[in-house]
Structure 1
């Protein structure tokens, strides 16, 4: 793939901001987007009671956000190329903050769902745009360090979300789950206006409207079908099958068309790059096994062990803490050692931790033993996710960054939805087909075994990642290097 032309670069004219200054802006936005998913998940019952409506109706508060998030991700790459990262990122923040404020003022289930959709439109652009900003700020030698910073929100969200959501509801009101984003988002907007480089986009960049009309509704329909089927633990009804099948058909149509279109919504030529293709495959398989199965952990604590929402979040902390700590040095390590050796070791260690959890899980397993298994799993996760993304994106040109970040976000979002649906079905099957959550540990253990299978499957593409360490790899050409924002410190 040829490097981007200088006309499409986005390097600032003045001295560039330091990596940590950029990271502060990106993390503030990203952590709001990630937290908002897990915070709301613990509030379904209180919201249903407040609005005197059914859980099926109030579930759209979560589903509406997820669907709008999935629908807007595909257009992000085009918007970045057309307008530049700074306007797109700030627009995403404005939408998210406005949606948060309105959601906190909602007066009915319908208005709450509508305002959550506005939130999702902003949230869907925050992550890929933030990743593009950081990719352009990094050199090939510092890509791993940058990815370790980007991983902070992904790991904090699942840990802090249930705890924060439960505390806000118990101590204040469900409205605070949304309005708390307003001051944080306002700070992120001020910092973005001051720190992010202002470089215009390309006015002649046309939107692939036919591609957008296939990919965005396709992803939304497919994810809706999977999410609804997982929620009901029933994939046989027409209102689950129809959107899932129609969505899959639209996504397939997009892929067929994009292969023939040189100016598609997402540049599929990225997948000709072996590092990107194997990294995306590794990440997708790993996400199916990890994120899909991790949704069962709070259920196990709450239903089998009788713990509260807040306690279940705290009991899962060994996983998030070990992953977060490991991620901070694994990103830097990935700038110096072989991606193949590092990622394969991480995947194998995560599979070992998941296997330890699987073989030990019982109705009365000692929490210290469970925590130790989660710590091993988390260490493997920290050695896998961000080093894989670093390996996939290292050396890509500035022009390729938006498509790369968008493609990885789509892959991860879809893989997580597939994982949640798959493990929901497996858990239900293990409970004898009952639609309720099982009250014993055995179905959980049987379902976790599938997570081990997916993680081991992720080893296959991981073993095809580059063998040479980045420091030993051939430097990128001058044309590409000139387009990157240098990183200091």
Structure 2
């Protein structure tokens, strides 16, 4: 195996670990809820706080790699992920579990961008299309298979193994990196970290999902108001800082590009909302419809098959049709798929399969189109900044989706008198379907030629 193939393999393995951390625990949520006596809002934070760690760490990854070297950062991040997995699997309370999930997220936030930089630098431009195709395949297979694997672990072992099993895999990849990755040296030019920007962005990204989660908890309205007020103030301060700084941590001026801006909004409202739908659906299917954890996890298989069709369709249709019709089709199909879960027919196996297939096709059509088009008009010398902004928005989308819908479900369940009433879940699905169509005005403003490669 060539050196570049080894580096690409290390990145893909690390990427797979990060994706598994995002999706493998979904089928374990009801068991985790029972054993740790966790509320729905706290369950939402199992995914949200991991995304938060990712979001906070991503901007620091490239800066840290220039300071100490990519190989060291990559290995260290894998060991942090392994430690977080062991800690999460041995947690005795929901607070401890959330703390270890934050540790895992911080490790993953350093792992993915540094590994991506190593891999793409190893390949010449003419060979990167093949690498991208393999990356997309991993991004499709891992979210599809990991919930089913997690469901099997829950049904036959314990929910704890969903977290513990990540540790030996991450440690093995770290050991393989010591053997395969060439030694690199820190960059001679060591730029200063935008400390003010880092602190303001970290406060914003922490307090925003925290406030949204606290809204659903009885007696927490004052705390939620304070958290949201701090998030708004810190966010406004960061915008002011970023627009005046010569080298901000995240350059918001790049969002003046219509495709990058539209793609970012698409991510917030389509795959981001789907993350919340997946949380609500996991609880609904097991707690109300009586499905096992394995059966719930297996629904990601039709999602994956439809996603693959969408990705292949994007490759064929993007050049001839442009992004606008693909965005429109993806938004409508995803929204309809979510609405199927809100109907009484969700108890039928074929309706559930059709729902997840529609959500997989629509969401993947939107995301693959957005990633294809977002950087077409970004200057080459601004690609790194645009990539950082894109990845921060992507992680924030997943975090907000789970916080908003998980918090909403907790609020509706608290106000319901009938413990077996499916109405709170169905209301969440209807609201999610409405959130998914919010980007339509931005998509309709795109010109027919925007985003063509």
Corresponding position: 1:366 with 2:351: no
Structure 1, gaps ≥5 residues long = 1-14, 474-489
Instruction: State the secondary structure of the residue aligned to 1:262.
Output: coil
Q: Is the 8 A contact 2:341 2:355 kept in 1?
A: no
Q: For 1:137-176, what aligned pairs fall within 5 Å after superposition? A: 149-152=134-137, 155-156=140-141, 158-176=143-161
Q: Is the 8 A contact 1:208 1:264 kept in 2?
A: yes
Match of 1:379 among 361, 365, 371: 361
Match of 1:221 among 198, 202, 207: 207
Q: For 1:224-303, what aligned pairs fall within 5 Å after superposition? A: 224-229=210-215, 232=217, 236-303=220-287
Instruction: Compute the displacement of 1:296 (Å).
Output: 2.0
Instruction: Compute the displacement of 1:73 (Å).
Output: 2.9
Corresponding position: 1:307 with 2:288: no
Q: Deviations over 1:351-393 (max 9, x none)?
A: 34344x167x206642213322332332122211122022113
Corresponding position: 1:121 with 2:106: yes
Match of 1:94 in 2: 79
| Greater Cα shift, 418-427 or 280-289 | 418-427
Q: Against the structure 1 CA distance between its residues 141 and 130, is the aligned structure 2 distance closer, same or farther, given a 3 Å change threshold?
A: same
Q: Deviations over 1:286-320 (max 9, x none)?
A: 23433222322222211221111221222343223
Q: Is the 8 A contact 2:215 2:224 kept in 1?
A: yes
In 1, the alpha carbon distance for the partners of 2:215 and 2:226 equals: 11
Instruction: State the secondary structure of the residue aligned to 2:106.
Output: helix
Match of 1:17 in 2: 4
Count of aligned residue pairs for this structure pair? 449
Which of the pair is proportionally richer in helix? 2
In 2, the alpha carbon distance for the partners of 1:328 and 1:200 equals: 40
Instruction: State the secondary structure of the residue aligned to 1:461.
Output: helix
Q: Against the structure 1 CA distance between its residues 109 and 294, is the aligned structure 2 distance closer, same or farther, given a 3 Å change threshold?
A: closer
In 2, the alpha carbon distance for the partners of 1:436 and 1:203 equals: 63
Structure 2, gaps ≥5 residues long = none
Corresponding position: 1:462 with 2:443: yes
Instruction: State the secondary structure of the residue aligned to 1:400.
Output: helix
| TM-score after normalising by structure 2 | 0.81
Instruction: State the secondary structure of the residue aligned to 1:94.
Output: helix
Corresponding position: 1:410 with 2:387: no
Bigger RCO (CA 8 Å, 6+ sep):
1
Q: Deviations over 1:420-453 (max 9, x none)?
A: 343345546766833987632x444443233332
Instruction: Compute the displacement of 1:163 (Å).
Output: 3.0
| Greater Cα shift, 289-298 or 155-164 | 155-164
| TM-score after normalising by structure 1 | 0.75
Instruction: Compute the displacement of 1:92 (Å).
Output: 2.0
Match of 1:68 in 2: 53
Q: Against the structure 1 CA distance between its residues 415 and 315, is the aligned structure 2 distance closer, same or farther, given a 3 Å change threshold?
A: closer
Q: Against the structure 1 CA distance between its residues 449 and 106, is the aligned structure 2 distance closer, same or farther, given a 3 Å change threshold?
A: closer
Match of 2:370 among 381, 388, 395: 388
Q: Is the 8 A contact 1:26 1:130 kept in 2?
A: yes
Q: Is the 8 A contact 2:304 2:360 kept in 1?
A: yes
Q: Against the structure 1 CA distance between its residues 196 and 277, is the aligned structure 2 distance closer, same or farther, given a 3 Å change threshold?
A: farther
| Greater Cα shift, 206-215 or 296-305 | 296-305
Instruction: Compute the displacement of 1:259 (Å).
Output: 0.7
Match of 1:448 in 2: 429
> How well do the aligned residues superpose, as a CA RMSD in angstroms?
4.0
In 2, the alpha carbon distance for the partners of 1:214 and 1:114 equals: 21
Instruction: Compute the displacement of 1:22 (Å).
Output: 5.5
In 2, the alpha carbon distance for the partners of 1:214 and 1:148 equals: 36
Q: Is the 8 A contact 1:326 1:383 kept in 2?
A: yes
